[in-house]
Amino acid sequence: MSQNRYRVFVSHAKDDSWIAAQIARCVRDLGADAFLDETSIPKGENFKQIIHREIALSNEVIALFTPWSAKRSWV
C-alpha cells in the first residue's frame, strides 16, 4: 500500500469474507488502497499490532455489520 494514497480499512467477520473482498476490490478499482486482513497480513505476523496500526493509518473504515460480525469483538 502506498503511504500517500487514500486508505480504506475493511472490517468484517470471517463469514463475510467474500463480500468484504468485493468491497475491497471496488475500493481499489476507484483508486484507493484497501486493507483487508486476509490479504494484507502475512501469516505469522502480529495480527493485533497490524490491525491497530492500519486503522490509525486509514482515512476511512468500512465495517460490515452482519449477524456474524455482531458477535465478533474485533469488528
Q: What is the CATH number of the domain that holds 53?
A: 3.40.50.10140
The number of folded domains in the chain is 1
pLDDT of residue 2: 56
Asked if residue 1 belongs to a domain, the reply is: no
Q: Can you give the pTM of this predicted structure?
A: 0.82
pLDDT of residue 67: 84
What's the domain range around 23? 7-66
Q: CA 54 to CA 34: how far, in whole Å?
A: 10
Conformational region of residue 31, where left means phi above 0, alpha means psi within -120 to 50, and beta covers everything else: left
Asked if residue 12 belongs to a domain, the reply is: yes
Residue pair 13/27 in contact by the 8 Å Cβ criterion: no
If you average pLDDT over residues 11-20, what whole number do you get?
A: 90
pLDDT in tens, 20-61: 999 999 999 999 999 998 778 778 888 888 889 999 999 999
**How many beta carbons lie within 10 A of that of residue 8, not counting itself?**
21
